[in-house]
Amino acid sequence: MALNHGGQVSQWSGLEFQRKTLLLKIGATFPARYRQYRFSPDARFFAAGSTNGVPQVWDISRRLLRRQWSDTAGDVWPGVFLAGGNKLVTISIADRSHREWDLASGLQIQSWRLPAEFSGAINVSPDERSCFALGYGGDVVLRNLAEQSDTNAPLEALESTAANFSPDGRLFAVASDMGYARVWNTATWQQVATLGSVLNGVNSASFSPDGKRLVIASNGNEAVKLYDTESWQEVFTLEALGTGFKGAMFSPDGNTIVWGNQADDVYIWSAPSWDEIAAAEMREKVASKRP
């Protein structure tokens, strides 16, 4: 699913994703200049940022505005959904703060500061107890959501562009414009790997659903690099065209990697199934026996 500049939320399906289904049209209340948006993990809800301090949350399946409320003046970005889509963390640029909201009541639960030079890198641990936000100059804010307090996390994370926890919460990866991704053990906050050495910077770092792989994204000939999270060895590099500031991520089953560029082109790479591998091996055997 994706949002276009006309305020339409659509879903693409089919073998080559050519079948488009319009799910929600909010163009009248969601001008094209409102670029910041988020889907809930189960894709039931859609949060739209605003430039006037009034964010919105939509129920996609029912095509209804679920919640609209006043945050602060100026730009407000949706950060991340919590509690199965029943809570939302927003980013208020004007007063440099995060806010956690209860979407059922529309009431604020808590607020805390944004890091200096906030880079847009924000992520919540799988147990939803910890919320990380990073500043481009290296400032790190780790919020304990359950205790409503800040925690120290001495990470060296300069020029950060994106951040993600592993599915089991044991690892935390940060992508950097300096051309690498760094990975830490969340129990000790000891660094366990520095990956990449990419010429044009790394704009995302995402774990596979089983946590066994980490994909980082850059541009052009180094669009996608895949790493094994046990040995931290590079598995392969995939090439694409353009600047991939939209990053790369895995499909829910872990068999597909998706990467997007600044021209709104989407590249999709799928791993072959065991049946496809067996069929390919059989074709090779047959071909090798031919005179």
Averaged pLDDT in 10-residue chunks for the chain of 291 residues: 71 72 68 68 89 88 89 87 95 93 95 93 94 94 95 88 96 95 94 90 94 94 93 93 85 90 85 69 74 65
In the chain, what are the domains?
124-291 (2.130.10.10)
pTM, 2 dp: 0.85
CB 11 within 8 A of CB 44: no
CB 46 within 8 A of CB 57: yes
CA atoms within 13 A on the CB side of 286: 6
Residue 174 CA from chain centroid, whole number = 12
How many C-beta atoms surround the C-beta of residue 235 within 10 A? 12
- Measured CA to CA in angstroms, residue 241 lies from 15, 18, 48, 58, 103 at distances of 22, 20, 29, 34, 40
Residue 141 structure tokens: 């804010």
Amino acid residing at 52: N
pLDDT at 32: 43
Phi and psi at residue 222, to the nearest 5°: -120, 40
